[in-house]
Structure 1
């Protein structure tokens, strides 16, 4: 069977998940009451205009679905866990791993597969062209235009402000505190933020070309796109803004929505030092300043810089300067 519409495709997925709808007024929750371990799917929507889906579920049997529809929609969201395998017409098999995403779909034909035991967790917003034609464009001239976006190309990027909105909506929905008016206001805000990004001369939606290949091992390379470079720049800014309390590489990777391998390799290629070396260099610069301009003890300085043990600070400082903090201070006073 081939799904001829987005609604039909979604219905077939729910059937294969064995989920039954439970209407809760302004949202619907889909789940199997007899098998709660399979998870759930929550749907908030304004019919034919937009919908918000929040899912956290496990596939209990293998299945595949074909689709062929002419609807035009924008989808944006975050996949926290789960890898999707699909094949679009005239393209090779592709997969989509956890990350943020943005895609303008039109006339989509292909096939998608799911495997028993796979766990999916994510949230996405779907906006129909009808919403733009009847609500957005008549009231806000020269706003976001579908024609400005590549059709059926998945951008693995969203502005961080938009990802924050989706995370917030997901949290409110799961606590049953998401109201329809608030949802629509945040969808409008997301459209505005994406439009602002598109109006930049060098934006990551219309210019998501390969930045280059970076070597990560013997004859192994990763390709960095401009969206990857934006994430690496954001990681650099985060480390710069709060040098005394830097996140772990694992957490930094999650904050900027870029896998650790690309983050580490790209950071080294762009800034010619590792993430750890950069964090340490900022701390050492701050340490120099405090040693030269204050009478704070070494222990007090180490605490200000976020070190749990002053011995670790002394060791790091000596490695950077070839002398202890006290020796450095003494030499500067001479």
Structure 2
């Protein structure tokens, strides 16, 4: 098992680049150029504590974990041209590919990322650290620090205004030609923020209108989700984040929220780009890994604490998620077999 710990975003990036086999081609900050003919390449410009742009095209060569021990909050946007990810669907690991533009305010308070052999990504990203955005960029624009409150944290928007997509593509062109400069980095990061908070674009994202104005299909049947139903889907995400250990069925969750089961499932996947079960399992497995690593609780106790009535079912799911058993995962940290 390969397991790393990162104490800040910069160390996470370095760990990730080295672990997948990339070698530094240039170390002239704010430029970072990493490549390997067999694996691919990642090129970034800027700093993670302010603004960073990046392009990448790479494949994960082997399974590994990275635990991040810090809080992060970024305005994150870009275009994924190629991407293979793995999800737990009905107790089995499945590949999926979701190429698309995206935008989100991504907030995390520590966690564990499980990277899988064969995952492939190609795309361009814009990352602006939220504290920097609120203290530097928004005051420069004459905007208040709540100007982005119309974006719900961790909701991943995949329908962006053309002017934002055009700016992302301009960033990509400058990175590909290695023509980015500190002045362009700041100007484009500021311009992106200015375009995003324009009133017309606020309305575009308001209450999920960008996601829910078009029909969502359940099988061959189109459905529409109202703004009040959209808020219930966000409430479902928050309930799972805080109480995934008590989650039993999607039907029970739908009854708690007063929302139809089909709308809840379809709307959740549209908003968060993953199934309800996938998200619940992600939360449960991350909690299980922390308990295995940091406590002396038995595997059966941890199974119950993460919502599994059957320890055998917990062991099966943990192995699907991590490619190792709970006992072997724990022994890696304790130094015992």
1:28 to 28, 32, 57: 32
Question: Is residue 85–residue 113 contact of structure 1 (8 Å, CA) maintained in 2?
Answer: no
The structural deviation recorded for 1:86 is: 7.2
Give the corresponding residue for 1:138: 139
Aligned to 2:159: 157
Hey, what does 1:73 align to over in structure 2?
74
The alpha-carbon deviation at position 190 of structure 1 amounts to 0.9
- Structure 2: how far apart are the matches of 1:215 and 1:46? 40
SS in 2 for 1:83: strand
Superposition map of 1:283-298 within 5 A: none
**1:304 alignment counterpart:** none
- Partner Cα separation in structure 1 for residue 153 and residue 31 of structure 2: 30
Look up the match of 1:329. Answer: none
Deviations 1:291-332 (A, max 9, x none): xxxxxxxxxxxxxxxxxxxxxxxxxxxxxxxxxxxxxxxxxx
Quote the residue 1:44 is aligned against. Answer: 45
Change (3 A) 1:212 1:50: closer
Aligned partner of 2:186 in structure 1 is 184
CA separation of 1:85 and 1:10: change in aligned 2, threshold 3 A: farther
Q: Distance in 1 between matches of 2:69 and 2:212?
A: 30
* Change in CA separation of 1:193 and 1:140 when aligned onto 2, cut-off 3 Å: closer
Deviation of 1:205 after TM superposition, in Å, equals 4.8
- How far residue 101 of structure 1 moved from its aligned partner, in angstroms, is 0.8
The 3-state SS of whatever aligns with 1:148 is: coil
> Are the equivalent residues in 2 in contact too, given 1:211–1:223 (CA < 8 A)?
no
8 Å contact kept, 1:75–1:102: yes
- Segments of structure 2 that go 5 or more residues without pairing to the other structure are 89-93, 227-337
Structure 1 residues 164, 199: closer, same or farther in 2, change over 3 A? closer
- CA-to-partner distance for each residue in 1:87-118, whole Å, 9 max, x for gaps? 9xxxxx99772111111122344443333233
**How does 1:55-66 map onto structure 2 within 5 Å?**
55-66=56-67
- The offset of 1:66, in angstroms, is 3.7
Deviation at 1:180, TM superposition (A): 2.2
Give the CA deviation at 1:211: 4.2
Q: Once the two structures are superposed, what CA deviation does each residue of 1:155-212 show, in whole Å capped at 9, x if it has no partner?
A: 1232221111111221221122222212221111111111115664x32254345347
Sort the Cα spacing of 1:196 and 1:146 in 2 relative to 1 into closer, same or farther, 3 A: closer
Structure 2: how far apart are the matches of 1:86 and 1:75?
Answer: 22
Aligned equivalents of 2:20, 2:126: Cα separation in 1: 20
Instruction: State the partner residue of 1:106.
Output: 107
What residue in structure 1 maps to residue 117 of structure 2? 116
Does structure 1 conserve the Cα–Cα contact (< 8 Å) formed by 2:67 and 2:113?
A: yes
Aligned pairs for 1:1-334 within 5 A: 1-21=4-24, 22-24=26-28, 26-32=30-36, 36-46=37-47, 48-85=49-86, 97-143=98-144, 145-196=147-198, 200=202, 202-208=203-209, 210-211=212-213, 219-221=219-221
> What is the rounded CA distance, in whole Å, between the counterparts of 2:225 and 2:56 in structure 1?
28
1:75 counterpart SS class: strand
Question: Partners in 1 of 2:155 and 2:216 — Cα distance?
Answer: 24
Secondary structure at the counterpart of residue 56 of structure 2: strand
Q: Given the two structures, how large is their TM-score scaled by the length of structure 1?
A: 0.55
Q: Distance in 2 between matches of 1:225 and 1:176?
A: 44
Provide Cα deviations, 1:247-283, integer angstroms capped at 9, x if missing partner. Answer: xxxxxxxxxxxxxxxxxxxxxxxxxxxxxxxxxxxxx
Kindly tell me: are residues 96 and 105 of structure 1, through their superposed partners in 2, closer, same or farther at Cα, counting changes over 3 Å? farther
Aligned-residue offset at 1:126:
0.7
2:102 and 2:159 in contact (8 A); partners too: yes
